[in-house]
Amino acid sequence: MRAGRKPTEELPLLLDRLDTPIGEMLIVADREGNLRAVDWVDYETRMRRLLRLHYGEKGFRLESARNLNGLTHAIGRYFSGERTAIDNLPVRTGGTSFQRHVWRELRSIPCGTTVSYTQLAVQIGRPAAVRAVGLANGANPIGVVVPCHRVIGANGSLTGYGGGMERKSWLLEHEARAFLL
């Protein structure tokens, strides 16, 4: 989680804000241009708690910045209708190796499609780990870009989303429209 840094060394993280059709988004990246966290302004406290969990209480500092090596503009293009604008954005997260495995697999779910938690567990080669997959999905620090919103219940129902069900529904509809154009 803090690999490659001394325990007392602060990781400088850059914070930008983006107005989207579903609320203001917080975007956190490192100086190398890797996304570290994405969340909604109404969940800023949760995002900061997650950063402390991943990098330690004094393991990072947030600095305001604009466009974060083009990341903010790319995410803005996604919300403007260019659904593939976020597909290859660089990410670097904390988390356990299992969580990072699940998060990598989330990025393989094509835009405009969904999978169930069961399908996702099978895809990572752990068919009995459905609950653990769900927990990892819920702990994803880079929502939208690492598309946890594309995971649904086995019966096709929309299930929880850290940004709220209204946002999950909007994101899925937004992505589905790509196939109607």
Set 89, 148, 152, 172: catalytic member: 148
Please name the amino acid found at residue 102: V
Cα 14 to Cα 36: distance, rounded to the nearest angstrom: 9
- Say if residues 87 and 142 touch (Cβ distance below 8 Å): no
The reply to whether 148 belongs to the active site is: yes
Query: Tokens 């949760």 — which residue?
Result: 46
Going through the chain in order, the beta strands assigned E by DSSP cover 11-20, 23-30, 35-40, 60-64, 115-116, 151-152
Give catalytic residues, as residue numbers. Answer: 148
